[in-house]
Every structure is written in structure tokens, then in C-alpha cells.
Amino acid sequence: MANEADDNTIYIGKKGTMAYVLAVVTQINNGAKEILIKARGRAISRAVDVSEIVKNKFVTDLKIAKIGISTEEIHPEEGNPLKVSAIEILLKK
Amino acid sequence: MANEADDNTIYIGKKGTMAYVLAVVTQINNGAKEILIKARGRAISRAVDVSEIVKNKFVTDLKIAKIGISTEEIHPEEGNPLKVSAIEILLKK
């Protein structure tokens, strides 16, 4: 799923869900036809919340075009590499 | 995605990730050709972890056949209905 929406990728982190909802809705209102939502670890649940809220409440003609899950390796500055699950959700108008 | 794997559905809850990994691997070793993993709310991240660990470490010929997300309404005994995000991950041999 790489490169499908490089310029319209939103990384879900530790902010409140509605901050990311607003970011997605803003990009769509600015003309984006697709948005790629990415998250790792515990933020995965929030990525699903963001996608569902945008689709159900704000942009009802939005479709969930693709969902992918994967495992990524993180290399912290100290200590051993960590494996963490990741999700990508591609939203399309 | 309903009814595709009724007898082989595993609901991810609050136990440790490896408890669910073991449940999935056991069902596959007992002959199941597909397993449907379901989770809601914060357990969504764990559902992704379980799928990735089973696929990468235990049953390497397993494929992620389908992933769906949705919003479910929960009706608590007291108080207002709550909306919660849900995920379904269909694993196939």
C-alpha cells in the first residue's frame, strides 16, 4: 500500500481522537481524494475510531478502500529492536 | 463478513496477547481452515498483535484474507448507548 497517498498520510499518535478526525476532514475539504491513516501499537484502536468517525459523521460518501496490517521493527537509541504491529487504512472519496 | 467462520470465531478481550495466540493456534491445529478474530475498542490493537504473531511465528502459511472495521452500538444496563469501533480479521490457511 506504499506510495498510494504519500502526501495525504496521517499518522495517528497520542493526541485525542478528534484532533485526527479534524486533520482528516480538513485534508478532504482541501481537495484530497484519498487519505492514508497509519498507526502503530496502541494507537491502532484510535486509527479505527478516527476512520469510523470521519466516515459516519463528517464525510458520509467516504469509503474504506483498503486495510492492511503488518509488523514493523523499531530501533530505539538504546536497547534491543522492538517489534510492533501497525495498521494502514486507506480512505477514498 | 458474518457467517464466514461462525464456529471458528475468537473474541479478543482483556487477557494477555499470548492467551489468544494459543487459542488461534490450537484451533488451526485441530483442523480449522479459517479463523475470524473479532475485537472492540482498545482490544483492537491486541487483535492485530494476535494476527501478526500467529502468522509470523506459528503458522507461516496463514494468510490475512480480509479485514473489516465497523461501529457497534453497546447498550449498557444503565445509561445511554455507547458507540464503539470494532475490527474483524479473517485468517485463512
pLDDT of A35-93, one tens digit each?
Answer: 999 999 999 999 999 999 999 999 999 999 999 999 999 898 999 999 999 999 999 99
In chain A, the DSSP E strands lie at 9-11, 34-40, 63-74, 82-92
In angstroms, what separates the C-alpha of A25 from chain B's closest C-alpha?
Answer: 19
Comparing CB atoms, the residue among B42, B56, B69 nearest residue A52 is B69
- pTM greater than the 0.80 cutoff: yes
Contact between residue B51 and residue B37 where contact means Cβ atoms under 8 Å apart: yes
pLDDT of the residue at B7 = 75
Residue A51 backbone phi and psi in degrees, to 5: -60, -45
Q: In this complex, is the C-beta atom of B85 within 8 Å of any C-beta atom belonging to chain A?
A: yes
Closest to B69 (Cβ–Cβ): which among A41, A64, A71? A64
